[in-house]
């Protein structure tokens, strides 16, 4: 059931003739859908249709799908920016093909399979609020759950974490402590992303929400207080960073071993 606070969105968009007649689903996505919005947050919508949205004033972004154009409409309502992105149902089919188990087992990394817009779309299917098309969303969620989407993301985050751990170790050995600090911090972020993704909490393309995601996930392997201590570098000593670097690297290695693909 759509929360009462969101019901006005549908009528507003209809009154502005921004919803096509062959509408399959209208989704509110992003921070508003997750209950994380603040007083300055935009309103982001996905509009799912059967035929392409065409308006002379609409902008578009190019994506590696057919058709290649992803139309967008931007408007302002009561001082808030609203952005609508129009997706075709058949483009969703194409994204699912890109994250098939066959492709995963062939060794193709997700970075080669999906661009950021595609990954965000599949991730947001699990956190969106459907203003119309709840059955469409339910069916697509089941298809994503049956795909290798999660496996792609976890594998990518683990690979990135491992790469930065190796960088940090090499820099530490050479005495390049400043670089080692930055590499260790980056490795920690990717490791946390892998943990979250393995539990079904996606969204690593938007690091600003990492703390919110982890707090909601309540992971036994990494309690929030421990995460926040390292994220904010509590206990870090600029005059002697080596112990902090080693602590973070050790934790990243341990947590990576607990991640399930």
Give tens-digit pLDDT for 147-195: 999 999 999 999 999 999 999 999 999 999 999 999 999 999 999 999 9
Residue 111 in this model has a pLDDT that exceeds 60: no
d(CA 52, CA 49): 7
CA–CA gap between residue 219 and residue 234 (Å, rounded): 20
pLDDT in tens, 130-146: 999 999 999 999 999 99
- With 80 as the cut, is the pLDDT of residue 52 above it? yes
Give the fold, CATH level 3, of 150-258: 1.20.120
The predicted pLDDT at position 3 comes to 52
pTM summary value: 0.92
pLDDT in tens, 22-36: 999 999 999 999 999
Decide if pLDDT at 129 tops 50.
Answer: yes
Q: How confident is the prediction for the chain on average, in pLDDT? A: 93
In this predicted structure, the answer to whether residue 250 has a pLDDT above a threshold of 60 is: yes
Strands 69-77 and 59-62: antiparallel
Does position 55 have pLDDT exceeding 60, yes or no? yes
The three-state secondary structure class of 57 is coil
pLDDT band at 4 (very low <50, low <70, confident <90, very high): very low
Residue 112, pLDDT above cutoff 70: no
Question: How far is C-alpha 62 from the geometric centre of its chain's CA atoms?
Answer: 19
The pLDDT, as a whole number, for residue 109 is: 64
State the span(s) of the chain assigned CATH 1.20.120. 150-258
In sequence order, which ranges of the chain are alpha helices (DSSP H)? 7-15, 31-34, 89-98, 101-105, 110-113, 116-124, 134-145, 149-173, 177-198, 210-217, 224-231, 242-258
**Beta strands 80-88; 43-49: pairing state:** parallel
Residue 118 token pair: 């595609």
For 4-147, give the CATH class.
alpha beta
The residues near 110 (Cβ < 8 Å, ≥ 6 apart) are: 99, 119, 152, 153, 155, 156
Distance (Å, rounded) from C-alpha 73 to C-alpha 92? 19
The confidence score (pLDDT) of residue 261 equals 77
Q: What is the pLDDT of residues 222-241, one digit of tens each?
A: 999 999 999 999 999 999 99
**Residue ranges, CATH 3.30.460.10, the chain:** 4-147
């Amino acid at each position: 059931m759509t929360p009462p606070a969101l019901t006005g969105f549908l009528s507003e968009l209809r009154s502005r003739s921004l919803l096509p007649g062959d509408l399959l689903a209208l989704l509110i996505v992003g921070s508003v859908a997750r209950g994380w919005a603040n007083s300055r947050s935009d309103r982001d919508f996905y509009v799912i249709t059967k035929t392409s949205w065409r308006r002379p004033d609409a902008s578009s972004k190019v994506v590696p799908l057919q058709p290649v154009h992803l139309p967008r409409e931007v408007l302002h309502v009561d001082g808030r920016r609203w952005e609508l992105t129009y997706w075709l149902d058949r483009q969703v089919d194409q994204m699912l093909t890109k994250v098939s188990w066959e492709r995963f087992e062939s060794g193709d990394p997700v970075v080669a399979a999906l661009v950021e817009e595609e990954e965000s779309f599949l991730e947001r299917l699990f956190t969106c609020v459907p203003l119309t098309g709840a059955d469409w969303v339910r069916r697509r969620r089941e298809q994503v759950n049956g795909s290798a989407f999660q496996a792609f993301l976890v594998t990518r985050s683990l690979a990135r974490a491992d790469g930065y751990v190796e960088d940090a170790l090499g820099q530490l050995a050479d005495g390049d402590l400043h670089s080692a600090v930055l590499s260790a911090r980056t490795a920690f972020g990717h490791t946390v992303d892998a943990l979250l993704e393995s539990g079904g909490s996606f969204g690593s393309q938007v690091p600003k929400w990492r703390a919110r995601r982890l707090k909601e996930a309540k992971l036994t392997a990494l309690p929030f207080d421990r995460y926040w201590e390292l994220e904010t570098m509590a206990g870090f000593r600029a005059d002697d960073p080596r112990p902090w670097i080693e602590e973070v690297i050790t934790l990243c290695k341990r947590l990576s071993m607990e991640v399930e693909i």
